[in-house]
Amino acid sequence: MQAPFEVKRLDLSDAGLAARALDLQLDAHRLEAEWLSYPHLPVLWADLAAAQACADAVWGAFEGERLRGVLVASRREDGGLHIERAVVDPQQLRAGWGYRLLNRALVGESEVSVDTAEVNIAALSLYRKAGFVAEQRWSTPDGLMLWRLNYQPASPPAFQLSEDGWLDGARRLPSPNHDERGEGMAPELLVIHNISLPPYRYGGLGVEQLFQNRLNPDEHPFYAEIQHLRVSSHFFIRRSGELQQFVPVTRRAWHAGVSSWQGRERCNDFSIGVELEGCDFEPFSEAQYRTLQALARALRRQLPLRAVIGHEHIAPGRKTDPGPFFDWARAEADSGLQR
C-alpha cells in the first residue's frame, strides 16, 4: 500500500526543496500575521539564502510529492528541544498536518518547549492535544501576549481489574459485539492493533461508534463501506493516553478475525485486543505507550498472559498493524511479555 503521507527530515541544501519550504512558510506567515492582527510577526526565513543557512532540524510533511507543512526545531543549551516554528499550507488547514509534524518531532524527546501567541487558539489547541502544558505567560514590548508551553505527556491512573472483567480507571463504553470465550479458555495473548476513523484522522467518535454499532454512513464515505461490520476490541487507547474499554476481559471481543498463533487458530478465544489510535505510517504517542504499560501490568497481575503480539503476526498477509512505527522493544520491556 502506498503511504498516504510521510513526515521526514528536510535537506535544505537542495535549492528546489528549500524554495518550496520558503514559499510555504511565507504563505503561512502572511495568514498568521493577519489572524493575530500583528503585522510585526517575524518571518522564520526572509529569503532562500536564509532558508538554506538554517542550522536547525527541519521536518516536512508530504502528501505524495506535495509539501503540506514544515516544522523547525532547535536544540536548547540544556539538551531539550525548542520548536521554533510549525507552519502548514494555508489551503490544508484542519487536515491534521500540524499534528503529524509535531508527533514526529517528539519521538525520543522528553524535554520540549514552544512559544505561541495567546490569541492563536488553533496553535494552543494543537500543542495541548499533543501533551503540552502552558506554564509561562508574558508580553512583547508592543503588547502581543505569548505563552511558553512545555511537553508533559499524560501519565495514566492506577488501573485495577475487577472480578467482572472491567478495568477500574478506564472509561466504560459497552459494546454488544462479544460472546463467550469457550470452555476452559483464558486470555493468554495481548494483541496490539491500530485504528483511526476516518482513516488517518484522530480525536473523533468514529471508533467508539463502530464498536457500538452506531456508525453513521452519512458522516464519511468510508463509514458507508464499513457500517455493516460487527467488531470490537477490549480496549482502545487514544493519542492522549485515555483508555476506553468496550468488552470485559472475561468475554471474547471480535478483534482478531481469521488468525493463528503457534498452530492455534481463532485467536479471539484466548486473547485480549488493544486498539491504539493511529495508523501504519507514523509513530504512536508517548502517552499511549505509558497507558499500554499500565494496562499490561494491571492485566498480568490477574490473568495468565504469555505474550504480546501484533495483529500482523497472527494474520500475516491479511493485516499489517500495528505497523513499522510501533516500538516492540519498548512494549516488551514495559509489559514484561515477549512476542
Nearest to 191 by CA among 261, 114, 264: 261
Which residue type occupies 63? Answer: E
- Alpha carbons 58 and 186: distance in angstroms, whole number: 49
Nearest to 118 by CA among 138, 99, 97: 138
- Alpha carbons 11 and 18: distance in angstroms, whole number: 8
How far is the CA of 168 from the CAs of 187, 250, 294, in angstroms? Answer: 18, 15, 12
Decide: 285 and 8 in contact? Cβ < 8 Å.
Answer: no
Q: Which residue of the set 32, 188, 208, 275 is catalytic?
A: 275
- For residue 306, what is its C-alpha cell? 504469555
- 34 catalytic, yes or no? no
Nearest to 235 by CA among 281, 279, 288: 288
Beta strands in the chain (DSSP E): 6-9, 57-63, 66-75, 81-88, 112-117, 132-139, 145-151, 160-161, 167-168, 171-172, 178-179, 189-195, 235-237, 243-245, 252-253, 260-261, 264-265, 271-277, 307-310
Q: At what angle do helices 97-105 and 121-129 cross, to 10 degrees?
A: 50
Q: Encode 28-67: b = buried (16+ Cβ within 10 Å), e = exposed.
A: bbeebeeeeebeeeeebbeeeeebbebebbbbbbbbeeeb
Nearest to 190 by CA among 45, 304, 319: 304
Residues marked as catalytic:
275
